[in-house]
């Protein structure tokens, strides 16, 4: 039976968080099942990119799906005008990983912080699955 683990945090513009998932034996795997973001102020205009990576990465506005280290991304737009409220595009990969992950945030228009929420499905891996997941995480490949 799988278990859902949730994490949440607040990032500053150009910042990142590490979500510590690694274990000594690597036999615990994870898969992203939910990823959401929300600005910290309704008085701000946001044009932001929040991303989840399998390796430490510099926060950026651009999204490159050919980068196999990218696990999930949100393009977040929010206006302080009543007619233009929140617009989120959320995409995530079904890749199974067993190492730490990294959440990054960059914004084009706002200097305000960004909240994020992520849910991971936790599962037991056999030795072969753990080895494959660890090698994928190390090499950044699918």
| Domain tally, the chain | 1
Give Cα separations from 41 to 46, 74, 109, 125, 127 (angstroms): 10, 18, 13, 41, 46
pLDDT, average across residues 103-107: 96
Q: pLDDT averaged over the chain?
A: 87
Q: What is the pLDDT of residues 8-59, one digit of tens each?
A: 999 999 999 999 999 888 899 999 999 999 888 877 788 899 999 999 999 9
HEC profile for 51-93? EEECCCCCCCCCCCCCCCCEEEEEEEEECCCCCCCCEEEEEEC
Domain containing 46 equals 3-139
Q: Where is pLDDT greater, at 132 or 67?
A: 67
What's the CATH number where 24 sits? Answer: 2.60.120
Q: Is 48 in a helix, a strand, or coil? A: strand
């Amino acid at each position: 039976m799988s278990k859902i683990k949730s994490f949440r945090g607040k990032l500053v513009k150009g910042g990142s968080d590490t979500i510590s998932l690694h274990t000594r034996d690597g036999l615990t795997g994870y898969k992203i099942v939910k990823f959401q973001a929300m600005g910290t102020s309704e008085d701000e205009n946001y044009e932001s990119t929040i991303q989840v990576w399998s390796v430490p990465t510099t926060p950026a506005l651009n999204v490159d799906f050919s980068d196999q280290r990218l696990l999930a991304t949100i393009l977040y737009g929010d206006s302080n005008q009543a007619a233009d409220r929140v617009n989120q595009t959320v995409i995530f990969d079904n890749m199974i990983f067993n190492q730490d992950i990294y959440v990054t945030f960059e914004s084009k228009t706002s200097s305000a912080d960004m909240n994020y929420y992520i849910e991971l499905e936790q599962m037991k891996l056999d030795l072969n699955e753990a080895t494959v997941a660890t090698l994928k995480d190390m090499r950044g490949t699918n």
